[in-house]
Structure 1
């Protein structure tokens, strides 16, 4: 992936809370486009192999969630967490993680991830097709900075983490903003 790349136009199938629906599952389907998430905003997008998995739940997602004010201070409008999981799983994970700042995007079919070149096989873990771990700064739907974990391949024996960490992305934003100010 390279800077200047325009994100692919994809439709995501999401589940949105709707108080007019009674019962234990007050949600309705809502289609959201790449444009809905990224147009006119400067955001951080990070993607990971799966909701509820250890590195994602312990380090990456909480780091972005807890650091939201620092990202906002660097000109970030939103932080999105994407995974090749369906809307039910992503919403339950967001609830389990008590998210207030990071919004989840379900790439249930993996179409967005595939078109970015980040769809990998994780059959060695029983996952099937999933996202390789990465983060990006996206400005109005265009990649401004890209942070991809090393070793992109199918059935990788490990789950590299560091390049796409909240700390790495925030350091890049700090440096980029410092350079602009100089």
Structure 2
């Protein structure tokens, strides 16, 4: 992925709350597109190997959630967390993490991850195809900055984390904003 790259057009299969539906599962299917998430906004997107996994649940997702105000102060409209998990899993993970600020995007079939070159095999962990860990600043659907963990490959023996951390992404945004203002 390169700076200046326009995100691929993908349709995401989401489940959204619908109060008109009675019963214990008041959700309906709603297709969302790349444009729905990214058009006309400056956002942070971060993607990770899987919902409910240790690094993702302990550091990366909570870091972005807790740092939301700092990102907003720097002109970030939304923060999105993507994973190659279905909408049911992503919604339950968001609920378990008590998310108020970060929005989850289910890349259930891995189509978006594949088209941005981040789909890898994680068979060594029993995951199958998953996203490599990365983050990006996206401005109106175009990559402004890219933060990819080192060692992109199938069945990597470790789970590198640092480049795509909220602290690293926020530091870059602050620097870029300061340079733009100068």
Same fold (TM over 0.5): yes
SS at match of 2:6: coil
- 1:24 and 2:24 are equivalent in the alignment: yes
Q: Would you identify which runs of 4 or more consecutive aligned residues in structure 1 move more than 2 Å?
A: none
SS at match of 1:14: strand
Aligned-CA RMSD value: 0.3
Gaps of 5+ in 2: none
- 1:66 and 2:66 are equivalent in the alignment: yes
SS at match of 2:98: coil
Deviation at 1:53, TM superposition (A): 0.1
- 1:3 and 2:6 are equivalent in the alignment: no
The size of the alignment, in residue pairs, is 182
Aligned to 1:115: 115
C-alpha deviations, 1:28-53, integer Å up to 9, x for none? 00000000000000000000000000
CA–CA separation in structure 2 for the residues paired with 1:19 and 1:57: 29
Aligned to 1:34: 34
SS at match of 2:5: coil
CA–CA separation in structure 1 for the residues paired with 2:140 and 2:106: 20
Aligned to 1:171: 171
Q: Using structure 1 for the length normalisation, give the TM-score.
A: 1.00
Q: Using structure 2 for the length normalisation, give the TM-score.
A: 1.00
1:8-157 alignment runs, 5 A limit: 8-157=8-157
C-alpha deviations, 1:89-128, integer Å up to 9, x for none? 0000000000000000000000000000000000000000
CA–CA separation in structure 1 for the residues paired with 2:171 and 2:48: 20
CA–CA separation in structure 2 for the residues paired with 1:177 and 1:137: 12
Gaps of 5+ in 1: none
Deviation at 1:181, TM superposition (A): 1.4
